[in-house]
């Protein structure tokens, strides 16, 4: 276990990349707030694993698209100590596959609420709480984007890719605004990764089906994406802000 690094909030941390990031953050010495929207059992398992590894963690329910829930999430985190790291991992596809013309207005609105507005709300509160100009410790924000932005995900998730394009722009702009506050803002952009996201959208074999398109010949693992997130959070990346780091096997 590393020395204490402060408190890290990981949104959408009950499974997949979020869960892997939370466990790695606990091992790196952060007290971890495992945020979840609905999967309380999954969040509890992540907390248990962090504690079994000798770390400190709590699970906190909250929908990041609700500004009041975001406030409550930060309040719960500050009970553990100063927040120094925020990972905006919570994101949804709307569990639909197809052309944009067939995506319902409700799905489009919900994806934008969670992926874009939710990330913005989290970033706003992170700066308020972490800013060295208002007594905070400074720190780092890492947003989760997607390499879907590069091609736009035609025929599958154009709406999702568009939301992640917004996350990229947010990351670049906010990095400049947050720098005087002692806060770095970066993003990790995963490619095809072995998570439950594909099965939830009705494509359980998607990773296997597209691996021939990936130069490294396979899908990524959540722990590999988490390692990039933790690197950007840490002091090794202390001169990096406004970066979007692809973790995509060369695709």
CA-to-CA separations, 247 to 57, 175, 189, in angstroms, rounded: 26, 20, 6
Q: Is 155 left (phi over 0), alpha (psi -120 to 50) or beta?
A: left
Residue 53 phi/psi, 5-degree rounding, is -85, 0
Please enumerate in sequence order all residues whose Cβ is within 8 A of that of 120, keeping only pairs 6 or more positions apart, or say none. 170
Flag whether pLDDT at 248 surpasses 70. Answer: yes
Predicted TM-score of the model (pTM):
0.94
Q: pLDDT tens, 10-50? A: 999 999 999 999 999 999 999 999 999 999 999 999 999 99
Residues listed for the chain: 251
Flag whether pLDDT at 204 surpasses 90. Answer: no
Mean pLDDT of 156-183: 97
How confident is the model at residue 229, as a pLDDT?
A: 98
**Span of 131-135, 199-203, 238-242, 246-250 with lowest mean pLDDT:** 199-203
CATH topology of domain 7-247: Rossmann fold (3.40.50)
Tokens of 130: 């972490």
How confident is the model at residue 32, as a pLDDT?
A: 98
pLDDT-derived band at 95 (thresholds 50, 70, 90) equals confident
How confident is the model at residue 219, as a pLDDT?
A: 87
pLDDT-derived band at 192 (thresholds 50, 70, 90) equals confident
123 closest CA partner among 82, 57, 170: 170
Q: pLDDT tens, 57-94? A: 999 999 999 999 999 999 999 999 999 999 999 999 99
Q: pLDDT tens, 205-218? A: 666 777 888 888 89
- Please give the share of the chain, as a percent, with pLDDT higher than 90: 84
pLDDT-derived band at 113 (thresholds 50, 70, 90) equals very high
3-state DSSP helix/strand/coil percent for the chain, to nearest 5?
Answer: 50, 15, 35
How confident is the model at residue 3, as a pLDDT?
A: 57
30 as an active site residue: the answer is no
How confident is the model at residue 102, as a pLDDT?
A: 96
Q: Please identify which of the residues 32, 59, 160, 188 carries the catalytic annotation.
A: 160
Mean pLDDT of the chain: 94
Mean pLDDT of 198-226: 80
Flag whether pLDDT at 198 surpasses 80. Answer: no
220 or 24: whose pLDDT is higher? 24
């Amino acid at each position: 276990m590393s020395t204490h690094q402060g408190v890290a909030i990981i949104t959408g941390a009950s499974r997949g990349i979020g869960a892997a990031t939370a466990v790695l953050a606990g091992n790196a010495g952060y007290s971890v707030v495992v945020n979840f929207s609905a999967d309380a059992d999954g969040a509890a398992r992540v907390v248990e694993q962090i504690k079994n590894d000798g770390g400190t963690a709590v699970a906190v329910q909250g929908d990041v698209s609700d500004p009041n829930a975001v406030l409550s999430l930060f309040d719960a985190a500050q009970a553990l100590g100063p927040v120094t790291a925020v990972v905006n991992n919570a994101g949804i596809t709307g569990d639909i596959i197809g052309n944009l013309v067939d995506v319902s207005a409700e799905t489009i609105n919900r994806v934008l609420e969670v992926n874009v507005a939710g990330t913005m709300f989290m970033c706003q509160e992170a700066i308020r709480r972490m800013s060295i100009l208002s007594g905070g410790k400074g720190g780092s924000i890492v947003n989760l984007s997607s390499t879907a932005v590069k091609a736009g995900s035609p025929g599958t998730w154009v709406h999702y890719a568009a939301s992640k394009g917004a996350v990229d722009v947010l990351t670049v702009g906010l990095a400049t605004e947050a720098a005087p506050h002692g806060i770095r803002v970066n993003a990790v952009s995963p490619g095809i990764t072995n998570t439950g996201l594909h099965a939830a959208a009705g494509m359980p074999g998607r990773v296997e089906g597209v691996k021939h398109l990936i130069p490294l010949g396979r899908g990524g693992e959540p722990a590999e994406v988490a390692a990039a997130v933790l690197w950007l959070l840490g002091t090794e990346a202390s001169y990096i802000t406004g970066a979007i780091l692809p973790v995509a096997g060369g695709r």
